[in-house]
């Protein structure tokens, strides 16, 4: 299957998407695409229609001239995993823009839950981390490198399941695509070897996955948000913030797994996503067991002696629900002075838009600013 995607490309038909679909409304816009909630008038199904920006896509694909790189549509339809959004088909609009027809995921972006740090996030984040890792491991087994793992590219469905949704920067795990030069991605999640223009492999996704997990627990990056060249270079020149110092109560096994994924030298990281997920799974089993034992003790302590009426015992007030291990009393991430850890702003050059921490960028362009 992998080899088939490198076959000769044939001419394609064009589709008037406004006739093919009832475009109900925009539900998202990335740096290289626009997404609509829509009804497929052929099937009657509710779908998501993603239309790629023609110029930006062409600029990205030009990096691989002569390599017959599969398109995002070809890659997406080939992926079959419960934690990856289903792409049913792809085609081209009358404006010659590629469009993808995807399952519509009822839910919210993981980036929203990272910001909220609400009860749902604290209760289910370890499950989400495991599912993201499973999706990433599957992608690697299919011989792809994702290159843009971050909360913005993960949806959490209403049934509390992960859906990886974006494959715009995916490349084959082949020598010609691992060569130095392609530095496109989300800067705050970029591995040091990519920044240093070294040969890359699937371990750069392990780094991005670890940054994502770190953020899911702390609501901040291991370094300053990579909005400037100096901040990007911290990934090379400065060790990451220690998660156990930010969250002294975090489970030691979970903390160690995340920090190993953040190692600057790829050889010091997890060699594959499955190893990192195995640590999280082992911690999950242990934490669930401890929680059940604690619940049983509380239930036993509240039970009246045999033969004594319940009304004769004065029970203490119910204890508040215990947060997941590693959750601090307050979820807001602050520095030692008590101020929110928001990145500083710098004056904009005339005619430039301010970058967001989760924007896809070409790092070469940032260094040229």
Cα angle for residues 37, 133, 167 (degrees, 5° grid): 40
Range list of H helices, 117-189: 119-141, 175-178
Distance CA(191)–CA(212), nearest Å, equals: 12
pLDDT of residue 3: 59
pLDDT of residue 292: 93
What is the DSSP-derived secondary structure letter of residue 174? S
What's the distance, CA 35 to chain centroid? Answer: 18
What is the DSSP-derived secondary structure letter of residue 157? E
Closest CA to 179 of 70, 64, 267: 64
Q: Which tokens hold the place of 251?
A: 């489970």
- Burial (CB count <10 Å: 0-12, 13-18, 19+), residue 23: middle
pLDDT of residue 30: 73
From residue 222, how far is each of 212, 243, 279 by CA, in Å?
Answer: 10, 8, 20
DSSP-assigned letters across all residues of 91-133: EEETTS-EEEEEE---EEEHHHHHHH--HHHHHHHHHHHHHHH
- Write out the chain's pLDDT in tens, 369 residues: 565 665 545 567 899 999 999 999 999 777 789 999 999 999 999 999 999 999 999 988 888 888 889 999 999 999 999 999 999 999 999 999 999 999 999 999 999 999 999 999 999 999 999 999 999 999 999 999 999 999 999 999 999 999 999 999 999 999 999 988 777 888 899 999 988 889 999 999 999 999 999 999 999 999 987 777 777 888 888 999 999 999 999 999 999 999 999 999 999 999 999 999 999 999 999 999 999 999 998 888 776 666 555 443 333 333 333 344 444 333 343 443 344 444 444 454 444 444 455 555 544 444 444
Distance CA(257)–CA(91), nearest Å, equals: 41
340: β partners? 334
Tell me the domains of the chain and their CATH numbers: 18-103 (3.30.200.20), 107-279+362-368 (1.10.510.10)
- Residue 361, classed as helix, strand or coil, is strand
pTM of the model: 0.80
Distance CA(58)–CA(76), nearest Å, equals: 18
């Amino acid at each position: 299957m992998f080899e088939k995607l490198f076959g000769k490309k044939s001419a394609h038909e064009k589709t008037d998407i406004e006739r093919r679909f009832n475009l109900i409304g925009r539900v998202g816009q990335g740096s290289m695409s626009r997404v609509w909630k829509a009804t497929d008038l052929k099937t009657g199904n509710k779908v998501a229609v993603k239309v790629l920006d023609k110029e930006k896509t062409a600029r990205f694909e030009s990096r691989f001239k002569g390599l017959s790189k599969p398109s995002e549509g070809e890659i997406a339809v080939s992926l079959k995993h419960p934690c990856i959004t289903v792409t049913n088909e792809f085609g081209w609009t009358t404006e010659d823009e590629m469009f993808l027809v995807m399952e519509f995921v009822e839910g919210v972006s993981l980036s929203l839950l990272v910001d909220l740090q609400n009860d749902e996030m604290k209760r289910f984040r370890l499950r989400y981390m495991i599912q993201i890792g499973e999706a990433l491991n599957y992608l690697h087994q299919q011989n792809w490198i994702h290159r843009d793992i971050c909360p913005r590219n993960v949806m959490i469905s209403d049934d509390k399941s992960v859906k990886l949704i974006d494959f715009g920067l995916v490349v084959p795990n082949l020598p010609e695509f691992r060569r130095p030069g392609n530095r496109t991605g989300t800067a705050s999640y970029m591995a040091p070897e990519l920044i240093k223009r070294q040969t890359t492999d699937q371990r750069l996704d392990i780094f991005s996955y670890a940054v994502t997990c770190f953020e899911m627990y702390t609501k901040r990056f291991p370094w300053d948000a990579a909005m400037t060249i100096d901040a990007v270079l911290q990934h090379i020149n400065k060790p990451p913030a220690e998660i156990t110092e930010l969250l002294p109560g975090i489970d030691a096994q979970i903390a160690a797994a995340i920090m190993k994924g953040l190692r600057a030298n790829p050889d010091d990281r997890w060699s594959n996503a499955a190893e990192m997920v195995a640590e999280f799974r082992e911690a999950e089993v242990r934490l669930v067991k401890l929680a059940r034992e604690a619940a049983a003790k509380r239930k036993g302590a509240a039970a009246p002696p045999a033969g004594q009426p319940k009304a004769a015992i004065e029970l203490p007030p119910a204890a508040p629900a215990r947060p997941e291990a590693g959750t601090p009393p307050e979820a807001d991430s602050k520095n030692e002075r008590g101020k929110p850890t928001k990145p500083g702003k710098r004056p904009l050059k005339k005619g430039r838009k301010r970058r967001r921490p989760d924007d896809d960028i070409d790092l070469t362009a940032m260094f040229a600013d």
